[in-house]
Amino acid sequence: MHAYAANVYTSVVEELMKGKQRKFIAVEQEFFRLWWDAIATDTHKQQVHQLLQEGRLEFVIGGQVMHDEAVTLIDDQILQLTEGHGFLYETFGIRPQFSWHVDPFGASATTPTLFALAGFNAHLISRIDYDLKADMQKNKKLQFVWQGSPSLSERQEIFTHVMDQYSYCTPSQIPFSNRSGFYWNGIATFPDPPKDGVYPNMSLPVTDANTHLYAQTMVANIKERAAWFRTSDVLWPWGCDKQFFNASVQYSNMDLLLDYINKHSGEFGVTVQYATVGDYFQAVYSRNLTWEIRDSQDFLPYSTEPFQAWTGFYTSRSMLKGIARRASSLLFAGESFFTQYVQKHPAGSICKCEALKQLQSLRWAVSEVQHHDGITGTESPKVKDMYMDNLMYGMFNVKKLMASIMFDMSNAKKNGEVYSSVYVKDSGIPGATGVDQYIVVYNPLAWNITTFVTVSVGHLAMSVYDEVGHPVPAQVQSSAESHSTYDLYILVAISGLSYRKYYVKPLNSKQSAFIGRSVKYKRKDLTHADQQSQQLLPVVNNCYQVLFDQNTHLMHSITERETNQTVQLTQEFLEYHVNGDMTKGPISDNYLFAPNASAVQVSKAVGLEVVSGNLMTEIRQYFYSNVTSQDYIYALYTRMYTVPEGYDGKLLCHRIEQEYRVGPLELNREAVLRTSTNLDTRQLLYTDSNGYQIQKRPFKAYENNTVARNYYPMVQTAYIEDDITRLVLLAERAHGISSQGNGQVEVMLHRRLWNSLQWDLNYNLTLNDSSVVHPVMWLILGTKAVTNILYWTSGLALEHRPVVMFGASSEGGDKPEIHRQLQQNSVHGSHVTVPLNLHLQTLSIPGWRYSSDHAEQVRSTHMGRQKQGDADFSRVLLRIRHLYEVGEDPLLSQPVMVDLKSLLKGLGSMTVVEERSLTGTWDVNTLRRWKWKTAQHPGKGFFKSTETSGNFTVTVYPKEIRTFFVYFQNQ
């Protein structure tokens, strides 16, 4: 911001005012908003308004950042777009209509759908596989109409332009100078700009002596590119990373050059003009050509050369990936909790404006980390620390807000320090005697859930009660990670978007939690495992029987009990050893994965401990480098749940939960968990794209680098299957995943790298990550029909685990009045529930200060009357998503009718519903997106969105995401 970004906006705005022909595009709102709020003068602000109205400054994408497409979740992509779009609409009354997704490392098929839903007319990408790009370029196929979603197909298609081999930068080599060309302001220097204004590598100024040489170079490049596209309009990007911080030298030189070419256009055969992305797409659209359709295949993974597969970042900085997703899930919970509070307790004592600020701090942090050098793990340690600090600060604020809403709603006296925590083990008040602890558990999903929450406690003898004093099933056992505390697992059954209170008491009464009993087995040497006598140890619940081989202590098989189908299944940790020396061949770094051989087994010995109880059995496997090692290098905790009578245990029983303890790794090691089965999968893998849809990933053989080029991102879901059985893996953070052998799936869990690449060293980009990570996965095994019913809901249940808050009550003993008081205060009567094939994706109060009447909004921004007053607390943003594809399941793939009025009746009486574009800035009835001609649809024109009826019932079709503004009667 200090060395570079602020100067871009200041100098560009000033320079645009000096020449009517000049134009500029701006993408990310993070820097622009910082500039607007802290640096821009009133004159600058007036100029920006004027330039936007004249179309000479154009915001493209307009999100908070240019998000990564491989490892981000759809919810977070939508959030960051919505954040940016809300700001732009509120401030200027403008709505971006084009994308400029030039820098994400590969392109996801979710993005065209999202950008179509946001109202964009065309989409632009750049980074796709080098050999595929060369082929498309040769055959003039770099432009097409992309139907990213198989279910939505042409309804949400978008015209897509792939940049040619020169990517998004001006060519840097010019034949008549040893300096780069067209970058007259040189290279930004950090952290301080040079005093004399002379920057490194400034291009030769344009003079009478060299104008012709510059013009020849530029025209030759334009003509080379023109041969790769179907129309005679050529998009020639001017600039590159860290450019335009001194826009006056940039524009004054380019003005001369453009002027010269246009004066000699007869000789050169081209005319040139400054243009925005919108200008370019408008020119191509008006040519009225017929375009090819591309279906829902994505452009992942991405390689830039034979040994440069950008598949390492799918796992880089696993801890940041985990925290980013935890923060997103907490934000999602906090938003719906706050929305209900505002609607149901209008006279509550919490300051709504302050509360909104707390939510906004987390919205900003979660949005910002979606950047393509954020959650990807491709930033320097300092920047990673900034992301972490912002996420932790935002989470702390939202937890505090949720706890205070809780207390306000239950009029509780604040006895002692009250705090809250999101599903982490080191929470609770271990060993606080004489003080009864209660926990409040909030279910952020709009379905009824039955699951376990875990609390750390200081005693083995505990009992748990609900609001009315009935005992609640619970199990307590020694903790795998801590020697001083115990883990208390509490079975909670909570309806949608509501909470329940549970009382946790040290045992002084009859009802006690089940105690998990531990059996430890002697460590087994894998190198001398007795293959002859197989002794199998069974672990059983209502859905599965899992067998462990007692010769090796590794998993042996899983039987799905309903169909009696058995799959041989074994799991082990392996490591890829990678090169860090540039002189010795390809390297792995934050971005790239370049293994120099197959993965090797890391442990020669495995220890086993089985903790069994009435509700849960936990199998703890410890992996040692040899039989005599002191410390284990990896641990794997597998949990299976048994649900008591009277509870709906379908989802809980069908999940085999696994937590992995990985790290610190040795240097230049990449750790994977390989699961090998006897399923005949023909090496076909399925992975999700952004938690929204599934992509088929056939194994491809390459001349070089086959292992790395067969790695794919897994954001939430992956599976392998044969004709009958499917094994699903669900994750709570992004990982790289691959199927390197028939019936195999391997997940990369952690990386620690150092290399001698000068670029990485200069920018401090080596990934010397010595952290210990604890990723969690759920395994589901069953027929395709059974897993189809379970995997979308289970994936969301893992993403959005209940939020646990803690409180202490100083009244001891079993006093009935406490139970009565708790009963009155429990508000889980007003739940919100959608059918299991829908997901209530957003229920929030954005607090925007803009009018949803576009004409009025434009008037107020042009008059300079942006509303500075209070945020709008009457407007609720509601998003509903259909989870299934057309034809995926006979019942769940059906369209669903939803009566919004009755869905949200617990929040109050609904008066108005407006259907909006994805980010809320368009009324869908007035949105006219460009319809590009295809063989399928020979007419050019506009997409007319379906008229939404004024009533409160909507039908949600497969894969649709519907967005609404909802208003309630003022209480």
The catalytic site residues sit at 103
CA angle 395, 396, 401 (to 5 degrees): 95
751 near 766, Cβ under 8 Å? no
Query: CA 25, CA 765: separation in Å to the nearest integer?
Result: 29
The residue assigned the tokens 């098929």 is 109
Backbone angles phi, psi at 96, to 5 degrees: -55, 145
* 344, burial (CB in 10 Å: exposed 0-12, middle 13-18, buried 19+): middle
What number of other Cβ atoms are within 10 A of residue 429's Cβ?
20
SS3 713: strand
Backbone angles phi, psi at 140, to 5 degrees: 55, 45
Query: CA 876, CA 879: separation in Å to the nearest integer?
Result: 10
Number of residues that make up the chain:
971
Backbone angles phi, psi at 364, to 5 degrees: -65, -45
SS3 132: helix
SS3 708: helix
Distance of CA 953 to the CA centre of its chain: 30
Q: Are strands 474-478 and 514-515 parallel, antiparallel or unpaired?
A: parallel
273 near 23, Cβ under 8 Å? no
Peptide bond into 191 cis (omega under 30): yes
Query: CA 632, CA 480: separation in Å to the nearest integer?
Result: 13
What number of other Cβ atoms are within 10 A of residue 868's Cβ?
6
Q: Is 92 left (phi over 0), alpha (psi -120 to 50) or beta?
A: alpha
The residue assigned the tokens 């792995």 is 588
Contacts of 902 (CB under 8 A, 6+ apart): none
Among 106, 314, 104, which Cα is nearest to 747's? 314
Q: Are strands 499-506 and 669-677 parallel, antiparallel or unpaired?
A: unpaired
Q: Is 712 left (phi over 0), alpha (psi -120 to 50) or beta?
A: beta
268 near 261, Cβ under 8 Å? yes
Query: CA 247, CA 564: separation in Å to the nearest integer?
Result: 70
Query: CA 225, CA 233: separation in Å to the nearest integer?
Result: 10
